[in-house]
Structure 1
Amino acid sequence: MTGDMQHSGRVGDTLAFHINGVDLVVPAGLASAEIVEKLRAGSYEADEARAADRCVKSGFRVLELGTGLGYVATLAAQRTAPEHVLSVEANPDLLPVIEGNLSRNGCSGVSLLHGAVAGQAEEDETVCFHISEGFTGSRLGARGGRQVEVPLIGFHDLIRAHRPHVVLMDVEGAEAGFFDRPWKCPLRFCAMELHPRQYGPATIKKIVDAMSAMGMTYDPVVSSRKILGFRKVWGEADTGA
């Protein structure tokens, strides 16, 4: 990472932060106190940022699932090119925030798609999506609280359309449904946040086995705590290349 100084401030009804060369503006009250503190300290999505720094190379196409504030999408776009990045976010409250943050960092060319990603989805299908207070932890399948109807997007449809070299994801457990068959893309790197409260060890084994079957191996440089990283075993035939 760049290692430049982190700083923050307040402008009217928004909070402004500068992390690793990225300017982020967040409406006051949108993020929880815990997230605001991480933004101020420069530790917000630190593991995910390190994964982007490690995995994204010039010219690589990147698929990011779970955009949040647009921080990692911006880092990915800076390392490859904005037009090579497709980022998906289900929470409608975050869309204008993401668009603003991408724009102020010169990355408005990133494709931002609104919807919740599942293993399979029919054309024009929608689903109820749970919005948590403070925005982190919003997910499919949760009961109670605030529920909004959002487009449902099929994971394998995204993979076939964008053909990413890098997949970055934090989708609060939905990743469990993405490993029913090989991904048809020239995959080089993948980093995902696991959610063991949403599924058990058998599902984690399924994920690891599926990645191995696609010629991917554990990446210790990217992996940290709940972030599980994989990289291509160089020299093997590329899946879907």
Structure 2
Amino acid sequence: MATETAIPPNYFVVSRGMNFPQHADFIQGRTRARLRRGVFEANEAEAALRTVRPGDVVLELGAGLGFMSTLMAMKRKVAAVHSYEPNPHLIPYIHTVHAANGLTDMSVTNGILGPRKAEVDFHLRPDLLLSSLHLEEDEADLPKTRIPVHNANSVFKEVRPTVLYCNMKGEEATLIPQLPLQGLRAAIIAFTPNRSSRDAMNTVFRALMDAGLAYYHRGSAGKVICMRSDW
């Protein structure tokens, strides 16, 4: 899936052998430092490297900077990654990351998944990487945009994923039980500690276990939980 890129190397921040184009809105401060040190989304990356296999079809919910989709495509030679990212402002940058690493068979769609087609509010924060579907209890109204909800059954039927990767900033307990999870070989869930209560985590675990997945300790670390059907 990866080919050589002709873009000059000083245009990039390089992390784990992956190219991330310099962009003042996304690659700055702590994010730039963690990318350069190779510790950006370290637990998520380790879970993917221990779990994802060549030929897997990955459904990614919450693409962020495109870090995890690029990692799985380059380091594990998956058949395809289908990403759904709720923040519309991140989509163009994710495309540049994939292009900078010569990746094909990558799709990026704005929105989230749900039981039926709809639209929901998405709240935009000054740091675009912190934007989300929810407002904090003590937070004033933020600028917002409407984003699409895609029919989960239709997406799963079309994509036929073998691996689910979810990093939805605290929305996983609402989202995951609504998904048709049967048929997955593995799932990697990045919980958000300040928004993931015990009940929320149990709800996610229960939905994944009902789909035939079991906790996989070698792929799990900290807030990142890995479940597999075949170990």
Shift of 1:199: 4.4
With normalisation by structure 2, the TM-score equals 0.84
Q: Measured at CA, do residues 68 and 141 of structure 1 come closer, stay the same or move farther in structure 2, by a change above 3 Å? A: same
1:10-21 correspondence runs (5 A): 11=11, 16-21=12-17
Q: Measured at CA, do residues 31 and 156 of structure 1 come closer, stay the same or move farther in structure 2, by a change above 3 Å? A: farther
Instruction: Measure, in 2, the Cα distance between the counterparts of 1:186 and 1:160.
Output: 11
1:95-134 correspondence runs (5 A): 95-115=91-111, 117-122=112-117, 125-134=118-127
- Point out 4+ residue stretches in structure 1 off by more than 6 angstroms: none
Q: Measured at CA, do residues 97 and 233 of structure 1 come closer, stay the same or move farther in structure 2, by a change above 3 Å? A: same
Q: Determine the structure 2 residue equivalent to 1:160.
A: 157
Instruction: Measure, in 2, the Cα distance between the counterparts of 1:32 and 1:91.
Output: 18
1:1-241 correspondence runs (5 A): 11=11, 16-31=12-27, 33-78=29-74, 79-81=76-78, 84-115=80-111, 117-122=112-117, 125-142=118-135, 144-180=141-177, 183-233=180-230
Report the AA paired with residue 102 of structure 2: G
Shift of 1:119: 3.3
Q: Measured at CA, do residues 93 and 181 of structure 1 come closer, stay the same or move farther in structure 2, by a change above 3 Å? A: closer
Q: Measured at CA, do residues 104 and 219 of structure 1 come closer, stay the same or move farther in structure 2, by a change above 3 Å? A: same
Q: Measured at CA, do residues 30 and 228 of structure 1 come closer, stay the same or move farther in structure 2, by a change above 3 Å? A: same
With normalisation by structure 1, the TM-score equals 0.81
Give ranges in structure 1 of 5+ residues lacking alignment.
1-8, 235-241
Q: Determine the structure 1 residue equivalent to 2:3.
A: none
Give ranges in structure 2 of 5+ residues lacking alignment.
1-8
Shift of 1:111: 1.1
Q: Measured at CA, do residues 126 and 205 of structure 1 come closer, stay the same or move farther in structure 2, by a change above 3 Å? A: same
Report the AA paired with residue 129 of structure 1: F
RMSD of aligned Cα (Å): 2.2
Shift of 1:232: 0.8
